[in-house]
Amino acid sequence: MPSRWVWPRRAVAMGCAVALAGLAGCGGGGTRPGDASAAVRAVLDQRAQAVLHRDAAAFLATVDPTATGFRDAQRQVFANLTELPIGSWSYRLQRTGAFPLSTESDADRRVAAQVELDYALRGYDTAPVSSVAYLTLTERGGRWYVAGQTDGEPAGRHTTVQPWDQGRTTVVRGRRSLVLGQGDARQLTAYADLADAAVPVVQGAWRGDWPGRAIIEVPGSEPQMATLLGAQPSAYQGIAAVTTAEQHGNGSAPADRVIVNPQAFSGLSPVGRRVVLTHELTHVATRTATTSTTPLWLSEGFADWVGNTGTGQPPQQVAAELSADVHAGRQPRQLPSDADFGSARTGLPQAYEGAWLACRMVAEQWGSQALVNLYRAAGHEPTDAALHGTLGVGLDAFTARWRAYVAKELG
């Protein structure tokens, strides 16, 4: 793929609790963390019940009345949440720590709280999704309120926010998709249409245990995309879309979201947009079968193979950079390694193109079901064993066959 079509698989753990070194060591005179924990939990429980019952007054009653800017933002957050099909919503207090007193009076006390939000969108999430937030809570007149977000974030961490935290959020419901974004309804409907068309294509290639419904998040800008992923903006510059996944260690993957980079995505051709969304939804579908033993050439190649289904593009067009290498005498000698898919590496497009050709070769020479069987096998055994068990050839023989196929298709 051209570099602007890069789709690295990003398994972003949205809800991993971390040890916050130094969170509580903020100087003398402040609230001891344990003193406020029960009160903080009560405030969080009130917020959760307010969201579930769509009670704006109860939700805003948990927000510091003197934090006017934050209160206005929270009012918008709640309005955004009322547009979503929320099936469950709860908070878990992970950790509290004391801030130094910001006033001369003990009447106003502050604590930093690491909070894990668990929620599920009805009809889309098979299990709750987790997201960590760093809240500031303050006590005024014997009552505790939420006064800010991310103030207690440890150094070096980039907060992972949700779409409803990024200003006014528009929600579009497709036949098989739910799109959340900062654009207008007309713009977001185009994403829903693409996802609705992509889901049957993915289902035709992968008959697995996924809901066949997609959640697409469309932030307003590339920096906002990075914020959704808890990363620096430069990490996703030029990347059209990524898929996130919540890993619970038990084979479940309830938190798959396709997050679009609107700047890079808008620069794609209509076919390119179709390929991108289908590719990413393939990752959603195959997530429960994808493990640390699955080689990236197989997971990315399979997603590209599905993504290019029915496009009618010849190999020389899909694999333009690798084709140029072959014509220049730079024939690849090994299948792309996992390291070759690093987003900053030279030759990244060739890695995707070589992976696509490997999966295309399997589908042509052994059949599409054999390719699916290989994918499933590679998730729980070494690649060489998976190849032997499904295709009857080892890794060395498969690589030699792939090299000959690349030369034939691109030469």
pLDDT of residue 234: 74
Q: For 23-27, 276-280, 341-345, 380-384, which range has the lowest pLDDT when averaged over its residues?
A: 23-27
**How far are the Cα atoms of 126, 192, 253, 353, 360 from residue 213, in angstroms, in the given order?**
11, 11, 14, 27, 26
Q: For 52-66, 202-216, 252-266, 321-335, which range has the lowest pLDDT when averaged over its residues?
A: 252-266
Greater confidence (71 vs 34) lies with 71
Residue 133's pLDDT band (boundaries 50, 70, 90)? confident
Q: From the DSSP assignment, how many helices (H) and strands (E) are in the chain?
A: 14, 9
pLDDT of residue 129: 87
Cβ contacts of 270 within 8 Å, gap of 6 or more? none
Cβ contacts of 149 within 8 Å, gap of 6 or more? 70, 133, 134, 135, 136, 159, 165
pLDDT of residue 245: 64
Residue 229's pLDDT band (boundaries 50, 70, 90)? confident
Nearest alpha-carbon partner for 130 in 90, 82, 86: 90
Q: For 93-107, 183-197, 358-372, 382-396, which range has the lowest pLDDT when averaged over its residues?
A: 93-107
pLDDT of residue 153: 53
Q: What are phi and psi of 148, to 5 degrees?
A: -175, 170
Give the separation between CA 6 and CA 264, rounded to whole angstroms.
Answer: 10
Tokens (6 digits) for 231: 């990363």
Mean pLDDT, residues 371-383: 97
Give the separation between CA 194 and CA 187, rounded to whole angstroms.
Answer: 12
pLDDT, tens only, 181-210: 988 899 999 999 999 999 999 999 998 778
Q: For 25-34, 58-67, 176-185, 269-278, which range has the lowest pLDDT when averaged over its residues?
A: 25-34
Query: What domains, with CATH codes, occur in the chain?
Result: 1-13+159-290 (3.30.2010.30), 33-156 (3.10.450.50), 293-411 (no CATH)
Give the separation between CA 144 and CA 64, rounded to whole angstroms.
Answer: 8
Give the percent of the chain with pLDDT over 90.
63
As a whole number, the mean pLDDT across the chain is: 84
pLDDT of residue 194: 96
Residue with tokens 């406020």: 36
In terms of C-beta density within 10 A (0-12 exposed, 13-18 middle, 19 or more buried), how is residue 338 classed?
A: middle
pTM exceeding the 0.85 threshold for the entire prediction: no
